[in-house]
Amino acid sequence: MSEIDRRAVTFRQAQGLEPLPQPLQLEDLSREARILLWEKFDLLLPFGSYADESSGYDTVIGTEWNSVMRRWHVRKLLLPSDEYDRRLKTVSAYSKFLILNRPYDEVFDYLTFIMRDENMKVMEPHFASSFAEARMAYTIEDATIFPAATPEEGTSVRHAFEVLTASEFGGARSHLRLAGELISSGDWAGGVRESIHAVESVAKVIDPSAKTLSDALKKLANANAMNPNLKRGLEALYNYSSDEKGIRHAMVFNAQPNVDRADAVYMFGACAAFVSFLIARSKTIT
């Protein structure tokens, strides 16, 4: 049995008097996770706030927060702009209720909307730290919430996005990001499709003349840059996504693919890892 890190558990947990904390499951947003997320809002919402004369000297949120909250009110909630209330106590009460009480997907939608605002990028590391502390089965990268049931899966996703920062891999980055979004929203087949598209996109960069993923893999294999077993494994993933009607060709087959959450999460993690591997191995080709 591995040694317990007493810094990460309570005294009672270390003594075996309480169960050790377990990673949360997908679609699980615990009370602890909600409380930690709300703590970030409670601390950061007041930044830039001030007493506004036109609001009866009530405290209103600052310029950056006001921009994203007004857009949320109009663009997402589809409420009239003249009904928007920028008072700190109003925005705070709304955020607190949503984070503590609404379904996990609504909370994730709210967090994502905020992180993707040009002036609110600073919020990403704050949300990510709450996710990690609450042992959530998700990780945050590129202002997107991705499924990652284990710390290792989270590391794999983060590494994939690190190696995809080069401009030539922009297409693969977009596919991988969309795959995570689709899985988080419950579109399992769509998540599988975009995951494999990310791999295809990287393969096409490695060998622009390749017509199929197999053609691109042959270039790596012929250069002794890929183990034959790994090549067969990647081709097997690709063949699975092609054979299961409705994943890659939903409009053609008009079929409901036999794909569940476990399939989608596995494919996402596997493809993220393969993306990193392909890029690393391609650099060995002279």
Q: Which residues are CB-neighbours of 278 under 8 A, at least 6 positions away?
A: 199, 202, 203, 206, 220
Residue 253 pLDDT: 38
Nearest to 182 by CA among 245, 255, 94, 271: 271
> Where residue 36 falls among pLDDT bands split at 50, 70, 90?
very high
279: three-class secondary structure by DSSP: helix
pLDDT at 215 over 80: no
Residue 3 pLDDT: 52
Query: Could you give the CA distance from residue 58 to residue 71 in angstroms, rounded to a whole number?
Result: 21
For 168-182, what is each residue's pLDDT tens digit? 888 888 998 898 888
pLDDT at 131 over 80: yes
CB-based burial, 60-95: b 16+ in 10 Å, e otherwise: bbbebbbebbeebbeeeeeeeeeebbbbbeebbebb
Once rounded to an integer, what is the mean pLDDT over residues 212-217? 75
Query: Could you give the CA distance from residue 20 to residue 142 in angstroms, rounded to a whole number?
Result: 31
Candidate ranges 19-33, 75-89, 183-197, 251-265; pick with highest mean pLDDT: 75-89
pLDDT at 35 over 90: yes
Share of the chain above pLDDT 70, in %: 80
Residue 203 pLDDT: 83
Domains of the chain, CATH where assigned: 22-136 (no CATH), 140-286 (1.20.120)
Return the higher-pLDDT residue of 265 and 224. 265
Average pLDDT, the chain: 81
Write the burial class of residue 31 (CB in 10 Å: 0-12 exposed, 13-18 middle, 19+ buried): exposed
Query: 46-55, 100-109, 191-200, 220-229: lowest mean pLDDT where?
Result: 220-229
Once rounded to an integer, what is the mean pLDDT over residues 13-26? 53
Query: 20-29, 54-63, 174-183, 262-271: lowest mean pLDDT where?
Result: 20-29
Residue 149 pLDDT: 63
> Where residue 147 falls among pLDDT bands split at 50, 70, 90?
confident
- Taking the mean position of all CA atoms in its chain, how far away is CA 33? 16
pLDDT at 1 over 50: no
Tokens 């990028």, residue located? 121
The dihedral sign for the CA sequence 39, 45, 50, 53: negative
Query: Could you give the CA distance from residue 184 to residue 276 in angstroms, rounded to a whole number?
Result: 22
For 3: left if phi > 0, alpha if psi spans -120 to 50, otherwise beta; the answer is beta
Global pTM reads: 0.67
The per-residue DSSP string of 192-245 comes to: HHHHHHHHHHHHHHH-TT-SSHHHHHHHHHHTT-S-HHHHHHHHHHHHHHHHST
Query: Could you give the CA distance from residue 72 to residue 248 in angstroms, rounded to a whole number?
Result: 33
Query: Could you give the CA distance from residue 191 to residue 241 in angstroms, rounded to a whole number?
Result: 11
Once rounded to an integer, what is the mean pLDDT over residues 240-244? 64
> Where residue 106 falls among pLDDT bands split at 50, 70, 90?
very high
pLDDT at 158 over 50: yes
